[in-house]
Amino acid sequence: MSFSISVKQNQYITYILSDESALSRLEVVPERGGMITRWSIEGQDIFYLDEERFSHPDLTVRGGAPILFPICGDLPDNVYVYEQKAYHLKQHGLARNFPWEVIEQSTDSSCKLTLSLKSNEETLKMYPFEFELKFTYELEGKTLKIYQEYINQSDKVMPFSFGLHPYFFVKDKEKLGLDIPASSYQVKDTKEIIPYDGSFDFSEEEIDVALKSLKRSSASIQDRARGLKISLKWSEQYSTMVFWTLKGKEYVCFEPWSAPRNAISTGENLTELEPGATCEATVEIDVTSL
């Protein structure tokens, strides 16, 4: 049988999902925000990981695919107001900063690992809602599917946005081809809207832009230097794609967000979930040869 899930104790307990027939291997670390840390296919890294930052529990992870909830991006002064009370929430929310629990695993026709995060005393100080998040990572061949459930366990409507922050490993950004279904983007710092012609200037120190008004629910990165094409598909809840990279770093981030930054205050594309209800979403990543 080509599917297996094993566990190893590194600095953190790490779950390794393997599809031997495709030489595809995924690593998940529940303690570090339930995130995928590594994915390799035929020995080639698909995700980037800053190992030095990862080894420090007090630093945010740069690499893998961190989970964003209940906000994407940052808030002005890290503060939002709900029912006349101010709450502090750091960039990208709280889900990536808490340990998750493995609740299910299967290797029948693919590798599937399901993790859960439930609200607790600490989360309620930052976000006054009771919730459960369930993420199922499914690995089959060169395809990764991420199934998400956002469950409102409180007795009031729960406002939130959600997203993923995958860091794709790239050796030579000048040899990237991008297919993003947008005609313009908004620059984070200046808020300027700029027409998008299909490319970015990678000589800039930082690129941090939000692409909205997406024409379809798929996009791709062609890494000509490594002969790989990475295709993303996402469910209809995702309204915004953020593209972020720093000069001199071997990654580009291609982030599906359900809403733009500060949506919890502006209401733009905000998900408002009724008590007891569940919001489901999916993101799929496929890797093929060019």
Instruction: Provide the pLDDT confidence category of residue 1 given band limits of 50, 70 and 90.
Output: low
User: CB of 165 within 8 A of CB of 92?
Assistant: yes
Terminal alpha carbon distance of the chain: 28
Which residue stretches of the chain are H helix?
A: 51-54, 121-126, 263-266
* Separation of alpha carbons 236 and 241, rounded Å: 12
Cα distances from 176 to residues 84, 95, 169, 214, 265, in angstroms, run 47, 31, 11, 20, 36
In the numeric block, the tokens 């770093």 are attached to: 249
pTM as predicted: 0.97
Confidence grade of residue 252 (pLDDT, cut at 50, 70, 90): very high
CA distance 240 to 260: 6
Q: Please answer whether residues 129 and 271 qualify as being in contact, where contact means their C-beta atoms are separated by less than 8 angstroms.
A: no
Tokens 């101010």 correspond to what residue?
86
pLDDT tens digits, one per residue of 63-116: 999 999 999 999 999 999 999 999 999 999 999 999 999 999 999 999 999 999
- pLDDT, tens digit (0-9, with 9 covering 90-100), for 168-213: 999 999 999 999 999 999 999 888 999 998 889 999 999 999 998 8
Distance of CA 233 to the CA centre of its chain: 13
143, pLDDT greater than 70: yes
H helices of 159-255, in order, are none
Grade residue 253 by pLDDT with cuts at 50, 70 and 90: very high
Single-letter amino acid code for the residue at 89: L
Which domains, from first to last, does the chain contain?
3-289 (2.70.98.10)
List CB contacts of 178: < 8 A, sequence separation 6 or more: 198, 199, 200, 219, 220, 221, 222, 243
Closest of 42, 38, 18 to residue 29, by C-alpha: 38
* Cβ–Cβ < 8 Å for 16, 25: yes
The length of the chain is 290
Q: How far apart are CA 255 and CA 210, in angstroms?
A: 9
